């Protein structure tokens, strides 16, 4: 069972991910609504997988990802964001994320993205 942390300022998206069908192999160990809370939560829960939005209040995903990657060096980080700015998304991935899933997404897309990251 992989430990999954969900970071998104939208409750709808957080709930959407945590309730997506077919994610039986993942246990949601926590959800955070911004980067700062995500870092705090990651220290407590040490997740294996993280889904993170880029645009969030307080601390956005781009800032949080390198910190999360240093706290949980083995965690696989999936950026889940709307594709409004490719450069920002690429920058976020370069700072330590491992994959990108574009909003909106289907359960199947989410599942295959997480599974692909979890393969390693």
Partner 1 sequence: MFFANQFGKYRAIVISVAMFIFLDTGVLGLNFYISSQIAADAVNVNLAGRQRMLSQKSVKALLEYRYERQQGQSGRAAYEEMAGAIQLFDRTLLAFKAGGETLDTTGQPIYLPAVETPKAISAVDQSLTIWEPIRTDFNALNKGGGDMEQLLNRLVSSAESHNLTLLKLMNDLTNDLEAVAKEKSETLRLIQASAITLAILNFFLILFHFIGQLRQSDSIAETARKETTEILQTVREGLLLLDNNLIIGTQHSESVRAIFGDQEFAGMSFRSLLHNLVVGRDMSTTEEYIKLLLNEKVKENLIGSLNPLTDVEVSLPAENGGYSVKHLSFRFNRTIEDGHISHILVTVMDVTETIALRKALDEAQQSNGLQLDALKNLVHLDTRTLADFLRETDIALHEINDTLKDEAADPQGYNAKLQNCFRIMHRIKGDAGALQLPQVVQEAHQFEEQLQSLQKMSGLQGSDFLPLTLALDAFLRLISDLQEVSDILKQVQPASSAPASSVSEPEATPAMPLPLAPQLALLDREPITQLAERIAEEQSKEVNVIFDTDDDLALPDQQRSLVQSSVIQLVRNAVVHGIELPEIRVLADKSPVGRILVRVRQQEDGLRISVRDDGHGLDLDAIREQAHSNGLYDQAELESFSRTRLMGLIFHPGFSTADNVDEHAGRGVGMDLVRSNVNKLKGRIRIGTQAKHHCEISFLIPVAASMPSEEVDVMNTQSDAEARV
Binding site for partner 1 (CB under 8 A): 10-12, 15, 78, 83, 86-87, 89-91, 93-94, 97-102, 113, 116-117, 120
Residue closer to partner 1, measured from CB, 67 or 79: 79
- C-alpha 34/C-alpha 53 separation (Å) is 9
Residue closer to partner 1, measured from CB, 66 or 99: 99
Q: Which two tokens stand for residue 81?
A: 């964001």
The least distance separating partner 1 from the CB of residue 38, rounded to whole angstroms, comes to: 20
- C-alpha 18/C-alpha 5 separation (Å) is 9
Nearest to 103 by CA among 45, 48, 70, 61: 61
The least distance separating partner 1 from the CB of residue 45, rounded to whole angstroms, comes to: 21
């Amino acid at each position: 069972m992989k430990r999954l942390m969900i970071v998104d300022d939208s409750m709808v998206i957080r709930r959407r991910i945590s309730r997506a069908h077919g994610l039986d192999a993942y246990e949601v160990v926590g959800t955070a609504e911004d980067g700062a809370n995500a870092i705090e939560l990651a220290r407590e829960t040490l997740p294996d997988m993280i889904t993170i939005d880029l645009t969030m209040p307080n601390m956005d995903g781009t800032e949080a990802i390198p910190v999360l990657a240093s706290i949980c060096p083995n965690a696989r980080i999936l950026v889940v964001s709307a594709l409004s700015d490719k450069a920002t998304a690429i920058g976020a991935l370069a700072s330590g994320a491992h994959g990108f899933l574009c909003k909106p997404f289907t359960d199947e897309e989410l599942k295959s993205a997480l599974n692909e990251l979890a393969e390693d």
